[in-house]
Amino acid sequence: MSQKLQFGVLMHPYQAIDCVGPLDVLSSSSKPYLEPLLGLGLYDKSVPEHALDYDFHYIKDTLEPSTHTAGLRLVPTTTLDTCPKLDYLLVGGPDPAWTQDPSFPAYAKFVQERLPELKIVFATCTGAIILGAMGVLDGLNATVNHQLIGPARQMCPKVKWTDEKQWIVDGKFWTAGGAVAGMDMMAQWVIDNSTRDAAECGWGFLDYEPRDVHGRLLKREKYGLRLQAA
């Protein structure tokens, strides 16, 4: 049995879809999601066999629920102080003014201290501004919601901001533009690290067609689940 990947999500007040969207891309293409659906006959057993599995950790400074856009309240599963070792971390995008919140230094310390153990840090929308304000993107190439490139450059001038692609990879940092670009970025990571078949099955169940790094729609190569089920 393959080891579960430990995936963390910071629970600051981000726009809900910034994290919910990419997380559903991961979950819908995962082994626990795909295995129970084998009986539908939409794909063969090799698809979930080669899919990934995750433990998700929702991390906040306290265990009190966090509030996101549309009044969505989410319950953290661990705190900054008690979070287990992680492989990956996802940072959604709040109002950039959150960097002035009294809780921000504790989150910054957490990311700075955990950085050596993390394989990848993903950021969606203004999540990259948050990382920039933490000082961990200094000297690196990054992107942000493309409408906010100007404010990002003002707030974090040591970061090499660009809006030429939907997402940018520099070292262990994957930074995406707006919320749906974050989903596209995660879809590409699934292709790279799981299988194309598992990724396409996940997209099919979401009725979602991701774009590549240049904003062009990816075509399903094999598992067009919407068509098979019609």
Domains and CATH numbers, the chain: 5-229 (3.40.50.880)
Block residue for tokens 């992107």: 143
Element (H, E) at 30: none
- Whether 50 and 197 have beta carbons less than 8 Å apart is answered as yes
So what's the pLDDT on residue 41?
A: 86
- Distances in Å between the Cα of 163 and the Cα atoms of 79, 93, 147, 155, 158 are 34, 16, 9, 16, 16
Tell me which of 43 and 115 has the higher pLDDT: 115
**How much is the average pLDDT of 200-206?**
90
The count of other CB atoms within 10 Å of the CB of residue 155 is 17
Return the closest-CA partner of residue 208 out of 230, 189, 225: 225
Residue 40 has pLDDT above 90, yes or no: no
Task: Look up residue 17 and give its two tokens.
Answer: 């879809």
Residue type, 189: W
The predicted model gives 165-170 an average pLDDT of 98
pLDDT above 70 covers what percent of the chain? 96
Structure token digits, residue 35 = 């295995």
Q: pTM of the prediction?
A: 0.94
Q: How far apart are CA 121 and CA 173, in angstroms?
A: 5
What is the pLDDT of the chain when averaged over all its residues? Answer: 93
User: Residue range 184-202: average pLDDT?
Assistant: 93
Question: What local confidence, expressed as pLDDT, does residue 1 receive?
Answer: 42
Q: What is the pLDDT of residues 71-115, one digit of tens each?
A: 999 999 999 999 999 999 999 999 999 999 999 999 999 999 999
Q: Around 147, how many Cα atoms within 13 Å sit in the side-chain half-sphere?
A: 4
Q: List CB contacts of 170: < 8 A, sequence separation 6 or more.
A: 140, 141, 142
CB-based contact 104:22 (threshold 8 Å):
no
Q: How does residue 230 score in pLDDT terms, banded at 50, 70 and 90?
A: very low
Question: In this structure, what are the phi and psi dihedrals at residue 20, rounded to the nearest 5 degrees?
Answer: -60, -40
Whole-number Å distance between alpha carbons of 183 and 20? 9
Distance, in Å, from the CA atom of 88 to the CA atom of 85, rounded to the nearest integer, reads 9
* pLDDT at residue 224, rounded to an integer: 62
